Amino acid sequence: MKIGIIGSGNMGRSLGILWAEQGHQVFFGSRDAEKGKATAELAERGTQGGTNNQAAAFADVILWTARNIMPKELLSNPEVLDSKIIIDCNNQDIPEGFAYPAILESLAEKLAKNVPQARVIKAFNTIGQEVFELAPEPLKDYRVSVFVAGDDEQARKTVMGLAEGIGFLAVDSGVLRNARLVEGLGDFIRLIMIGQKQGAYATISINVLPTAQGQRLGGRQASSLK
Ligand SMILES: NC(=O)c1ccc[n+]([C@@H]2O[C@H](COP(=O)([O-])OP(=O)(O)OC[C@H]3O[C@@H](n4cnc5c(N)ncnc54)[C@H](OP(=O)(O)O)[C@@H]3O)[C@@H](O)[C@H]2O)c1
């Protein structure tokens, strides 16, 4: 797969290297072409580097790491994204005291509105950079969930495959509107991670359990609550 990285910071560099290790063709984009090239040199494995515009033109799948910066602001020709998959891994700025307002529109939905012909997928925003450092081994053993939300089912499957290829357990999280909840989860995991001691990193794993035998608590009764 051809993968373009928009912004060669912590997320872009880490995911780009991991995907290159899996045999994908990766182009590291940056506002500064020299930084993109330097990241490709670090990544090796035939990766390329340059500008964000070049990365967007090169790829079929684009990792968007520029927080709250929209394609129409950042790219000289945003139409190049039409029909491509854009993975939005962004979280909001942390407000003072973690006092988050309710999320009325996710960053991913905002991105999708900016480039309506692209297929935007929310993913990886609940995964700290430190967790990627463990991928794909020994990460696989921990069965860490990556929540994948987006309106295009095929695009969701593609991104789930990219997550599983580097050692995560992908969780199909449905339509893009659900990114509001996934972003809330990202905010929550950051809250938890900030309280961890150095060298320990929180993750979220969804466990699917068997039905209890006997229902000794009376089982789930009918309820009028929605
Ligand atoms: N780090 C984590 O553990 C983590 C985990 C989950 C989600 N996230 C989310 O992922 C996103 C990226 O995080 P990160 O850790 O990779 O941050 P980062 O290391 O600061 O990298 C972000 C990159 O975005 C680009 N950028 C920054 N300001 C920009 C602007 N005004 N215009 C255009 N591009 C700009 C820069 O790339 P160039 O300098 O190459 O242009 C920068 O290196 C954030 O929304 C963050 O909340 C981060």
- Give the tokens for residue 74: 């950042």
Counts of helices then strands in the chain (DSSP H, E) = 8, 8
Q: What residues are in contact with ligand 1 under a 6 Å CB criterion?
A: 7-12, 30-31, 35, 65-67, 69, 74, 89-91, 125, 127-129
- pLDDT, tens only, 118-132: 999 999 999 999 999
Domains of the chain: 2-194 (3.40.50.720)
**First CA to last CA distance, the chain:** 42
Ligand 1 atom at shortest distance from the alpha carbon of 128: 3
Sign of the C-alpha dihedral, residues 121, 123, 125, 130? negative
Give the Å distance between the CA of 173 and the centre of ligand 1. Answer: 24
| Angle in degrees, CA 29, 33, 38, rounded to 5 | 85
Rounded Cα gap, residues 59 and 49, in angstroms = 12
List the beta bridge partners of residue 6.
29, 64
Q: Give residue 6 CA to ligand 1 midpoint distance, Å.
A: 9
CB proximity list for 87: less than 8 A, separation 6 or greater: 61, 62, 63, 64, 121, 122, 123, 124, 159, 162
pLDDT at res. 52: 98
| Residue keyed to tokens 């182009």 | 27
Distance 151 CA to ligand 1 centre (A): 24
Whole-model pTM over 0.95: yes
H helix runs in the chain, sequence order: 10-21, 33-43, 52-58, 71-74, 107-114, 129-132, 153-165, 179-194
Distance in angstroms (rounded) separating the CA atoms of residues 200 and 178: 28
Digit-coded pLDDT (tens) for 157-181: 999 999 999 999 999 999 999 999 9
User: How many other CB atoms sit within 10 Å of the CB of residue 174?
Assistant: 17
**Under 8 Å between Cβ of 189 and 126:** yes
Per-residue pLDDT tens listing for the chain (226 residues): 999 999 999 999 999 999 999 999 999 999 999 999 999 999 999 999 999 999 999 999 999 999 999 999 999 999 999 999 999 999 999 999 889 999 999 999 999 999 999 999 999 999 999 999 999 999 999 999 999 999 999 999 999 999 999 999 999 999 999 999 999 999 999 999 888 888 788 999 999 899 998 999 999 999 999 8
